[in-house]
Amino acid sequence: MTDLRKGEARQQPVKGASSAALEDPTPSRILSSPLRSFERYFAFLGYGIVCLVLVAALLELASWAILSVRIWSVHPSVEQATRMIQKTSPVYEGVGWAKEFWEEEFLRNQVLKVYVPFRLWSVTNWHGKYINNDAGPRGVWRRTLNPSNCDPRRSLDVWTFGGSTMYGYGVPDWATIPSYLSRELNASSQNCVVVSNFGVEGYVNDQELITLEEQLKAGAHPDIVVFYDGVNDSALTWNPSGPPPAHFLFGTIKSRVEGSVSGRLDFLQTSYTVRLARKILSKIRPRQSFASLISRSQPNVPLVLDNYEANLRIARALSNAYQFKLYCFWQPILLYGQKPLVPFEQHMAEVDASGMSAATAWFPVMRAVYQEAEHRAAIDGNFIFLGNMFDSTKDPIYVDEVHLGPEGNELAAKAIAGYVRAIPNKR
């Protein structure tokens, strides 16, 4: 009897236990097996992502450390030479304001750029001890030192257009070309001359022409317009894969607007890892490869000058319609002309003329543009070629291959004033 009761007890379900728990557990194990596989898969995927992020972060940190060493600097020498090189230019020797100025210049360059219609970017609002971009009825523009007691009824308005050299990169407000030009013209004119600086860093002549049109449409009226170009337009020639682009950052902006994958990932191009890889490749790249790229860019030389002269024809049509005098100048550059070079300038010229790296390969092409520009200026006289302006200047004047210190800007302003000095008196 006892054994019978024990057998019945074994057959009775345990109180509170579900029927599912009493079923065969084998299907449950079969169903849970894929779940465990998915769990393992996602765990490995997570670990992989974490490891990849850590490796990328370590690579970026290591690349930053390497590129922080002066000899590994990767900034293109024409677009913007390293600030260390610029600050060591002899044009700043013995200048008390230089150190403080470059601290301000560095901070200004950290400010985000602003978008403007058609021209893409423009001058950002900035106020400091040495650099001031003032907001006014005609936009935000670099401050020019003009006479403070001008009679508007007898003042002559001079508008100047150009890239960073006209804007005045590397010098205080008082040492820009427009400020020196104002001083020169007011010293020789019976009228009060007010010079406006419409220079924008990175602008080519196409963007300057649009700026002129916008100012005219807004109702302003100049007496004289000055274009000062050459470097930025020449740089567009360096495009071995096709015709010259319309402006700087053309490929980047085009990719972003079109929403391409390269446009979404172009931020990677500015990473320290990618920049270091490019630097290493430029070191090991065979010389003949750069020679080939230089050769493939040569057909762009006449195209750049054709575009520039076409713009000047439009500008002359505007000058006739709006009754202002137009003067167009092709600016100097370190690698062209016969200037007696000081050691600082000589070193830059030797490095850049070699064309042995990605940062210098485009200089031979720019020289070709300057040769063509000098030839065309002599034949048709559509613009004034100033590429040889410093041939007799022994003093150091260059901050880098393009930008000038105060003395260089003063000489450029005097050369421009020599052409526009014979201005009519305003009645």
Domain range list for the chain: 25-68, 74-248+285-420
The whole-number pLDDT of residue 80 equals 43
- Residue 4: the pLDDT is 47
d(CA 415, CA 399): 19
| Mean pLDDT split into 10-residue runs, the chain, 427 residues | 50 50 53 71 80 79 66 38 72 93 92 92 96 94 93 86 97 98 89 94 98 96 97 92 90 83 69 73 64 86 97 98 97 95 90 69 88 96 96 95 96 96 55
pLDDT score recorded for residue 71: 40
Q: Given this model, what pLDDT does residue 422 score? A: 56
pLDDT of the residue at 83 = 61
CATH architecture of the domain 74-248+285-420 equals: 3-Layer(aba) Sandwich (3.40)
Estimate to the nearest angstrom the gap between the alpha carbon of 201 and the chain centroid. Answer: 7
* Cβ count within 10 A of residue 270: 8
Name beta bridge partners: 159. Answer: 196, 225
- Stated pTM of the model: 0.81
What would the two tokens of residue 149 be?
Answer: 């007691």
Question: Cα 192 from chain centroid?
Answer: 35
Residue 341 CB-density burial (10 A; 0-12 exposed, 13-18 middle, 19+ buried): middle
CA distance 373 to 302: 9
* Spatial distance between the Cα atoms of 244 and 310, rounded to a whole number of angstroms: 15
Residue type present at position 255: S
Alpha-helical (H) ranges within 323-402 are: 343-354, 363-380
| Tokens standing for residue 391 | 């041939």
Q: What stretches of 47-202 adopt beta strand conformation (E)? A: 114-116, 120-122, 126-127, 132-136, 139-142, 155-162, 192-197
- Side-chain-side CA neighbours of 137 within 13 Å: the count stands at 5
